[in-house]
């Protein structure tokens, strides 16, 4: 899932292209550098709370990109484990990569930590993923392509659950489900997915003071973000090629906790006075897949944990 080598600088990629004849005869290295300079700078913001088991793989995927990110910002939120120490080690291991470690210790919670990261980012496009996300090697490149249309103010894409069986099928199913949601909402609402999303810095400036604080932790913060964008008629684009991996660890929740998680959709809609019945479809889907997916995950976990037998043993 990761690229084989570190991403090159734009100048390095131009040199290699010219060396091996990958550039057209009428395109100079100067033109290529100018094109690269005109592309939007993509920041990646990663809120993190006690994520020592996944933050390293998340950062490795963010580093090994076909087009380097402008900056990779991890915002630690009062972690009590080795999350911050691991990020610090990654900074030493990859000194050429713009990995930044920030601390948000004023408030506990995803939303203030997300906001702190987005407010601190300096890119033209603000990518936002989770600490268990593993973005595809062309993720930054696809984000840039999604925003080539100047009317696009935010973008999101499908996810693949890397700790589940039948990953390719799961990616196709996730993609189809998200496109179905767009049709059911008659394209009035395009919802971002917090594990795989990006928005223009200018769009964030418009809505950042309006987004719900959700101090009771009852809502889906990414749906809330989407609805605030919709209030300003800021276009959200679904981009199927913008793919991120993520963990299916939500399935480890008890049925009660999982139900509370799913009903966050309803509480978010109510907070925004959104009553479109078709928007309840994601809740139905999430409820229906819980027990079958939980069983599949359990079987997959057991199978992958078993040692490989050799020599007929």
Query: How many angstroms separate the CA atoms of 22 and 19, rounded?
Result: 8
β-pairing, 244-246 with 159-161?
Answer: parallel
Q: pLDDT 10s per residue in the chain (313 long)?
A: 434 334 444 333 333 333 333 334 444 555 544 555 589 999 999 999 999 999 999 999 999 999 999 999 999 999 999 999 999 999 999 999 999 999 999 999 999 999 999 999 999 999 999 999 999 999 999 999 999 999 999 999 999 888 888 777 777 777 777 777 667 665 566 789 889 999 999 999 999 999 999 988 899 999 999 999 999 999 999 999 999 998 888 888 999 999 999 999 899 999 999 887 777 777 887 888 888 888 887 887 777 765 544 444 4
Which of 70, 59, 65 lies closest to 37, judged by CA?
70
pLDDT at res. 37:
58
* Close Cβ partners of 39 (under 8 Å, ≥ 6 residues apart): 67, 144
244 neighbors 133 (Cβ within 8 angstroms): yes
pLDDT at res. 12:
39
pLDDT at res. 293:
83
How many CB atoms are closer than 10 A to CB 164? 17
pLDDT at res. 307:
54
pLDDT at res. 218:
93
Which of 307, 288, 175, 302 lies closest to 242, judged by CA?
175
pLDDT at res. 27:
45
Query: How many angstroms separate the CA atoms of 153 and 221, rounded?
Result: 18
pLDDT at res. 281:
75
Which residue in this structure is represented by tokens 């693949």?
160
Question: For domain 38-248, which architecture applies?
Answer: Alpha-Beta Complex (3.90)
Which of 196, 194, 203, 189 lies closest to 242, judged by CA?
196
pLDDT at res. 58:
97
DSSP of the chain: ---SSPPPPHHHHHHHHHHTT-S-TT--HHHHHHHHHHSPPEEEEEEESS-TTTHHHHHHHHHS-SS--SEEEEEE-S--SSHHHHHHHHHHH-TTS-EEEEE--SS-SHHHHHHHHHHH--SSEEEE--TT-EE-TTHHHHHHHHTSSTTEEEEE--EEETTSSSHHHHHHHHHHHHHHHHHHTTTS----BTTBEEEEHHHHHHHTTTS---TT--S-HHHHHHHHHHHTT-EEEE-TT--EEE--GGGGS-HHHHHHHHTHHHHHHHHTT---GGGGHHHHHHHHHHHHHHHHHHHHHHHHHSPPP-TT-
Q: How far is CA 14 from the centre of its chain?
A: 29
């Amino acid at each position: 899932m990761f690229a084989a080598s570190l991403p090159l600088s734009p100048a390095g990629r131009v040199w290699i292209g010219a060396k091996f004849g990958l550039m057209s005869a009428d395109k100079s290295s100067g033109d290529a550098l100018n094109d690269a300079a005109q592309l939007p700078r993509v920041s990646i913001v990663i809120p993190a709370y006690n994520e020592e088991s996944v933050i390293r793989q998340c950062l490795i995927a963010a580093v090994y990109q076909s087009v380097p990110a402008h900056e990779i910002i991890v915002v630690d939120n009062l972690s009590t484990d080795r999350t911050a120490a691991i990020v610090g080690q990654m900074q030493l291991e990859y000194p050429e990569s713009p990995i930044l470690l920030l601390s948000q210790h004023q408030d506990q919670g995803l939303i203030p930590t997300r906001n702190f990261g987005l407010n601190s980012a300096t890119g033209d496009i603000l990518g936002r993923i989770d600490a268990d996300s593993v973005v595809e090697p062309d993720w930054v490149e696809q984000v840039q392509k999604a925003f080539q249309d100047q009317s696009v103010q935010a973008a999101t894409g499908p996810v693949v659950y890397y700790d589940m069986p039948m990953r390719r099928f799961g990616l196709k199913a996730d993609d189809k489900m998200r496109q179905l949601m767009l049709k059911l909402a008659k394209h009035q609402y395009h919802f971002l997915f917090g594990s795989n999303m990006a928005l223009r810095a200018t769009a964030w400036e418009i809505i950042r003071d309006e987004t719900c604080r959700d101090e009771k932790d009852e809502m889906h913060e990414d749906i809330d973000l989407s609805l605030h964008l919709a209030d300003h008629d800021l276009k959200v684009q679904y981009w199927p090629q913008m793919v991120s991996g993520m963990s299916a660890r939500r399935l480890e929740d008890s049925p009660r906790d999982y139900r509370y998680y799913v009903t966050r959709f309803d509480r978010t809609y109510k907070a925004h006075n959104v009553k479109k019945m078709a928007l309840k479809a994601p809740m139905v889907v999430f409820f229906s897949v819980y027990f079958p997916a939980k069983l599949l995950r359990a079987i997959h976990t057991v199978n992958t944990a078993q040692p490989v037998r050799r020599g007929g043993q």
